[in-house]
Amino acid sequence: MRKGKVLVVNCGSSSIKYSVFEAESVEEVSGGLLERIGGKSATLKHRVGPYSVELEIEARDHRQGLEQVLRILHGGEVKAVESLAEIIAVGHRVVHGGDAFFESTLIDDRVLDTIKDWAELAPLHNPPNIAGVEAAKSLLPGIPQVAVFDTAFHQTMPEKAYLYPIPYELYKRHRIRRYGFHGTSHGYVARKAAEMLGMPLKALKIVTCHLGNGCSVTAVRNGKSVDTSMGFTPLEGLVMGTRSGDIDPSIIFYMMDKEKLSAKEIENVLNRSSGLLGISGVSNDVRDIEREAGKGNRRAALALEIFAYRAKKYVGAYAAAMGGLDAIVFTGGIGENDPTIRSMICADLGFLGVKLDGELNAIASKDAREISSSDSAVKILVIPTNEELVIAIETLRLVKGDMGKQP
């Protein structure tokens, strides 16, 4: 493997999350988060190994933001890279690749145009992702850029899973179908699960539960995504921090009429003031909600109950879709850290062979671990996700291929 560093970039609407990996060992050497891009002053939290610093800086847009990130990487008190020439490739998280991308890809003008094409379907996500690619192209000219798509892992879904029962012409005309998201995470934890179980991924039926601010469940059969709970957009499926997940579509028309809301306003309600926040009225963070529920707040307790109940229904549905279940994997901020939610989801799934070990479940740890009873037919695993690592590995794989093609 070539010497040098890989920069991983994940641009949100007003943020840049970044990591720097050693190309040889694929170990993370530095990382950070720049927030409030476009505001009066942006906050940069930067770390290199054990060293960390927080700075107020100017970042009008993503280009200036990335410029500042590159500056601190080689010019900070503790250097993450000796010079920018050390960076041999940049890997970008791109949320929506539509059905154009089955896997990660090197970015050229044609690829960038296609990503722009899909921006209409991911208006919150793809435009900042594109801004990140354009900034990196101009600040690190000639350095290969790779796009790793949230949607790519789910491109293996069969038609019966991704088509909605609406007029087929609408699918053809407007590309309305299930795409699924969090694919980098679902794919990573499924592969890790097979490793932990010492079984070939091709022989396993796994339900992966990514429970963070956004939440989704995926049915992974023989290593492939065969169904997933997020759909045309990340709004479908599970109850999330502020997103409703599944609702009867008629509620939208009824709300329009009764509350005199526009389509845009309803989109906002369903994306920003629903989910855990909407039901509890307390917060979008399960830690706050659990604290309130502990004090007897009924709506807070209800929010947790609905959250877990709906996740449980997806586990059952996907076991049925796959014709069996070998493992359930929990990941994401909630999945990795919240024993209460995990136990609520696994409760009463004994009929499927799911048996949680209460003591193992209660142990707090940052490591991947098994939390099922020794006699549980279905293994229950907690696996910390690491999307940045996957992006770094994918980037290196593609850059290597690219270099191989050169004379």
Residues 246-285 that bind ligand ADP (CB under 6 A): 285
Buried (b) or exposed (e) across 147-158, using 16+ Cβ within 10 A? bbbbbbbbbbbe
Residues 117-136 that bind ligand ADP (CB under 6 A): none
Give, for 215, the enclosing helix (H) or strand (E): strand 215-221
In residues, how long is the chain?
A: 407
In the list 4, 127, 212, 316, the residue contacting ligand ADP (rule: CB under 6 A) is 212
* 31 is an interface residue for ligand ADP by CB under 6 A: no
> Could you tell me how many residues of this chain bind ligand ADP (CB under 6 A)?
12
In the list 28, 150, 338, 388, the residue contacting ligand ADP (rule: CB under 6 A) is 338
**Nearer CB in complex with ligand ADP: 194/239:** 239
In the list 87, 115, 334, 380, the residue contacting ligand ADP (rule: CB under 6 A) is 334
In sequence order, which ranges of 118-182 are alpha helices (DSSP H)?
126-139, 159-162, 168-174
**Nearer CB in complex with ligand ADP: 337/361:** 337
What long-range pairs does 344-347 form, CB within 8 A, spacing at least 24?
344/304, 344/305, 344/308, 344/309, 344/312, 345/209, 345/308, 345/311, 345/312, 345/315, 346/312, 346/380, 347/312
Q: Quick check: 28 and 19 in contact, CB under 8 A?
A: yes
* 12 is an interface residue for ligand ADP by CB under 6 A: no
Judged by DSSP in three states, 380 sits in: strand
Query: Which residue's CB comes closest to ligand ADP?
Result: 333
Q: Quick check: 379 and 327 in contact, CB under 8 A?
A: yes
* 241 is an interface residue for ligand ADP by CB under 6 A: yes
**Nearer CB in complex with ligand ADP: 342/379:** 342
CB of 32 to ligand ADP, least distance (A): 15
**Nearer CB in complex with ligand ADP: 267/288:** 288
In sequence order, which ranges of 49-117 are alpha helices (DSSP H)?
62-75, 109-117
Each residue 168-207 as x (binds ligand ADP by CB under 6 A) or -, in order, gives ----------------------------------------
* Enzyme catalytic residues: 150
Cα separation, 116 vs 119, whole angstroms = 5
Note the residues at the interface with ligand ADP (CB under 6 A).
212-214, 241, 285-287, 332-334, 337-338
